[in-house]
């Protein structure tokens, strides 16, 4: 996505908004202990999560993921880590509680996280390949090399002899 494209600026604005939203929500809880009043079974469920400290863990995770997304550092990792909580918030707010505030918050959260995951999805191409060879984290730069016959192509005399060197 080029800097001349309007989408570049739209995606970055959405990233800044979502990151700030998560960071604010997490910090608000950390500073004040604020848990929203949620009616009915949804409120009971949130209270049960708070009783087993899952609610608190999610709020502290929001601080971390919000900072990652807002500062554009490890953005994709932050979006992926936040996604289970996003789906949970969407389901609870949209189908269980369904008050006007929740009907705005739940879909908004899923929309923002979904759009950003889509915008950064080009970095997840390997996840969509049906068959991959093992690749250690510290050899990750090899993922950007061409693959021929299911093997990573290395130039002759490559540093790691464990990988097949296949050149035409």
- Please report whether residue 63 resides in a domain: yes
Provide the number of structural domains found in the chain.
Answer: 2
The domain of 166 spans 129-168
- Please report whether residue 154 resides in a domain: yes
- Please report whether residue 41 resides in a domain: yes
Q: What share of the chain is helix, strand, coil (3-state, %, to 5)?
A: 70, 0, 30
- Please report whether residue 1 resides in a domain: no
Averaged pLDDT, 38-46: 90
96 and 148 both lie in a single domain: no
- pTM, rounded to two decimals: 0.80
* The pLDDT of residue 123 is above 50: yes
63 and 137 both lie in a single domain: no
Cβ partners under 8 Å of residue 129, min gap 6: none
Q: What is the pLDDT of residue 142?
A: 79
Residue 148's DSSP bridge partners are 151
- Please report whether residue 16 resides in a domain: yes
Q: What is the pLDDT of residue 167?
A: 43
- Please report whether residue 11 resides in a domain: yes
Q: What is the pLDDT of residue 41?
A: 93
Q: 118-126 long-range CB contacts below 8 Å, 24 or more apart?
A: 119/1, 119/7, 119/11, 119/14, 120/75, 120/76, 120/79, 123/76, 124/76
Averaged pLDDT, 99-108: 85
* The pLDDT of residue 165 is above 50: no
């Amino acid at each position: 996505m080029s800097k001349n494209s309007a989408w570049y600026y739209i995606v970055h604005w959405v990233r800044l908004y979502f990151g700030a939203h998560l960071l604010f929500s997490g910090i608000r809880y950390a500073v004040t202990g604020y848990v929203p009043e949620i009616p009915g079974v949804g409120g009971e469920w949130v209270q049960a999560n708070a009783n087993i400290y899952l609610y608190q863990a999610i709020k502290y995770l929001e601080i971390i993921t919000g900072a990652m997304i807002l500062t554009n550092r490890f953005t994709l990792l932050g979006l992926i880590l936040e996604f289970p909580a996003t789906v949970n918030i969407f389901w609870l707010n949209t189908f269980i509680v369904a008050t006007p505030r929740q009907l705005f918050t739940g879909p908004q959260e899923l929309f923002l996280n979904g759009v950003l995951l889509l915008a950064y999805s080009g970095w997840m191409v390997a996840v969509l390949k049906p068959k991959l060879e093992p690749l250690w984290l510290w050899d990750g730069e090899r993922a950007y090399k061409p693959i021929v016959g299911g093997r990573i192509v290395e130039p002759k005399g490559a540093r790691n002899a464990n990988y097949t060197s296949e050149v035409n």
